[in-house]
Every structure is written in C-alpha cells, then in structure tokens.
Amino acid sequence: MSTENRIERSEGTPAMRTRWWMAAATFIVLFPLGGVYGWSVFVTPLQESFDWTWTQAMAPLMANIGAIFLGAYFGGRVQDRWGPRWVVVIGVVVFCVGVATGVLVTDPGDLWILVAGHGVLAGIGLGIAYIPCPALIVKWFPDQRGMAAGLATMGFGAGALLAGPAGEGLMALVGDVPPVFGILAAIYLVIGLPFAFFLKDPPESADLPDPPPSPRGDDLTAGEALRTWQWYALCIAFLANVTVGIALVTLASPIAQEVAEASAGQGAFIVGLLGVFNALGRPGLAALSDRVGRRTTYTAMLVVQALCFVAIPFVPQIVVFALLASIVALGFGGGFGITPAWTADLFGPEHNGAVFGAMIIAWSAGGVIGPLVTSELRDLTGSFEVPLYVWAVVAFVAAILPAILARAPERIAEGGETGARDGASMDESGVPAR
C-alpha cells in the first residue's frame, strides 16, 4: 500500500479498531501481574508472623524482580519468532503457580519456599509475559510509540491497586498471610489468562498509520544494539529510575507508617494510590515524550524524583507524603513507558522485543538493589531517612545520562567497524530530527 493511500484514515478501519482492542487486552493481562508492587502490605505481617527481619521479609520480592530478566530474555526472543499469544499464556500460568506456592509457608524456616516460588518462579513467569506486550503494541501503534508502550504497561503499574487493598482485606478476613497468596493467584489467573489468547501481531496488510521518520534507516538486531554505547547509557538511566522508584513503591506502606505515622489501613491505601500514579505515568509521560522528546522528559523525570526524595523526610503529614510519593511513582512508571519507545527509536522496532528484553536486566538489578539497600540501611540505622537521601543522589546523577543520547547508533559491521550508514541525528528534545 502506497504512502499516499495511507495518509488519510479513520479509527473506523478494521486495523485501527483492532489496535485499541490489543491495547485493552495487554492492559488487562498485565494488571494482575503488577500485583508484585503491592508486596509492602505483606512485609509487616510476615515479620510479625515469622519473626523475619526487613531484609528477609523483602527477599521474595527481590527474588521475583531479580528473576524477571531470565523470563524477559526468553520471552523477548521467542516473541519475535513465534508471536505473542502463547508466550504470554505460558508466562501468566507460570506466574500464578509461583504466587500460589506461598500457601505452603508454615514456619520461619519456610522462607526459601516463598523466595523460590513467589520469588524466582513467579518472576520468570512475569518476565515471559511482560516483554511481548509493549513490543506488540509498538507494532500496532507505529505513529505513537511512546503512548502505545505506556498503554501496554499501564495495567502492570496499576496492579498494586488490586494487590494492596485486596491483600490487606484478605489478611483481615482470613487471619493469616499464606492462604492469601493462594486466593490472589486464583484471582490473577482468572483476570489475566483469558485476554492473553486475544494477543496477535498486526498482519502485513494492516492499514495502519505510517511511523514518523526514524532516527535510523535500518533496524538493529539485539546483538548489534548491545555493541553500541547508546544501549548501555539508556540501560543505566533505566536502572537508576527502576532502583529509586521500586525502593519507594515496594516499601511504601512501612515508610508511610514511619515517616507520616500512617496506620496499616492508610498504608495500604497509599500502596493502591501509588499503583494508580505508576499506571498513569506509563502512557502519560510516554505520550509527553512523543511530543517534547524522550531526552527532555526522562531528564526532568529523574530530577523531580530526586527532589521528592529529599523532601519526604521533612513532611510528616500523610497527605504531603502521599503527594510526593505519588510523583515518584509517576516517574517510575514513566520510565517503563518511555524506555521501550526510545529503544524502538534508537534501534528500530523490528527487533524491539529482544532489544528492550535484554534491557530488562536493569529492572531485575534495580528490583534487588532498591529494596535490599533500603532494607539493610533501615536495619542498620533504624530509620528510612538515610536510604531516601541515597536515592535522591542516585536520581540526580543519573539525570545526566539521557542528555547525552543525542544520536542514534550507527550500524556495526560484523568485524566491529561502523558501517557506511550514519545514525540519524536527533533534535534538541531527543526525538528524531524531522
């Protein structure tokens, strides 16, 4: 189909309608998987039930997010070859089985069960199911990659809205923590699995809008992308955003109870609230980056997060704490919306599942570093104040990285030399020069 014939189109064409169904399906599939961000409501009850330290109570979450990379690498590779449907189905099932193993925990010595099941197994399933979703939606929305990637991951960010209040309510109803994991696993499966079967790549004949001019004239494979400095600069910026964001989001309830003297119920509400802002940040900031540029949006996002971390220890009022924490969660979610769109800009959309899938190592590393350092410093100092300042410094320093991503990478030949085709330049916003 010629470009001229594809200039004018309406949302009434079959492909244009289908892409919104794909966006809705990915949102619903990822919504229950985002329940991992509601973990903070279980931390204090687990400590009280099994006499675990902060670090022990956070170990299942750290194992979960640390294992995401294993599943994401597999899911990204296979999705590019086989399509998204069965990859996501397998991922959802593995995730739910992992969560359900939490019912087997009966005494303090069973921590390994929670780490292996709710942690490693569920994390692998999460990674398998997660990566195909933004990679798929970017293909359906070639004209709005940032907004599309944000929509695809919005459901995951909102998962804490389900897991936080539901987990708190179920623990009050059941009177114990382990049975709640089995109930939540069943809920997650019923919500996510049916919609995984709807996922499919757009056909070659799909009448979709043309993408904006690419910052490069060809697409790089994952191996080629990993041989460019741009991939590593973006990966480190993503790592910083994940580390500082997940440190707050996954410990929001106990931090709120200490800093703002919130009750357990108020802490659970804040967990759900952060889930909302985490979700909104994904399409919101990603769509903003479509307009003002990836570089500008990412830099501002990290600077604002740093300022919020500095301010939190000085504002004991729960409303102000909730506001500052929500801003951090907004930026945390924004990174998950902007980054896969930016990798598509820099390296091309064809292999974006594998290219961004490899970058999920930053999510896994940040998911371990953030909660681990926060918990260890809390055990060491008896306060969350020091780790909050640490994350402020990390965010400030990391804000330098997006500013240097001013050019798309050149193609790299097999011998390691740059090819004849130069990477296209970007404008001052960090978007492809038009």
Q: What is the mean pLDDT of residues 123-145?
A: 86
197 contact partners, CB below 8 Å, separation of at least 6:
85, 89
Would the pLDDT of 11 be above 70?
Answer: no
Angle, vertex CA 106, rays to CA 100 and CA 108, nearest 5: 115
Q: pLDDT tens digit string along 380-423? A: 998 899 999 999 999 999 999 988 876 666 654 443 443 333 33
| Residues ≥6 apart with Cβ < 8 Å to 380 | none
* C-beta separation of 332 from 246 below 8 A: yes
The model's pTM is: 0.75
Residue 408: the pLDDT is: 61
* pLDDT, the chain, mean: 84
Task: Give the closest residue to 332 by CA, choosing from 293, 362, 355, 358.
Answer: 362
The most confident of 69-73, 259-263, 391-395, by mean pLDDT = 391-395
Domains along the chain with CATH numbers = 12-403 (1.20.1250.20)
- Residue 425 φ/ψ, nearest 5 degrees: -80, 160
Q: How confident is the model at residue 238 (pLDDT cuts 50, 70, 90)?
A: very high
Rounded to whole angstroms, the Cα distance separating 379 from 409 reads 44
What confidence tier does 210 reach under pLDDT thresholds 50, 70, 90? low
What confidence category does residue 15 fall into, taking pLDDT thresholds of 50, 70 and 90?
A: low
pLDDT grade, residue 184 (50/70/90)? very high
pLDDT at 337: 84
Distance separating alpha carbons of residues 290 and 403, to the nearest angstrom: 16
pLDDT at position 329: 95
> Nearest-CA neighbor of 37 among 312, 371, 359?
371
Give the Cα separation of 231 and 161 in Å (integer). 32
pLDDT of 6: 39
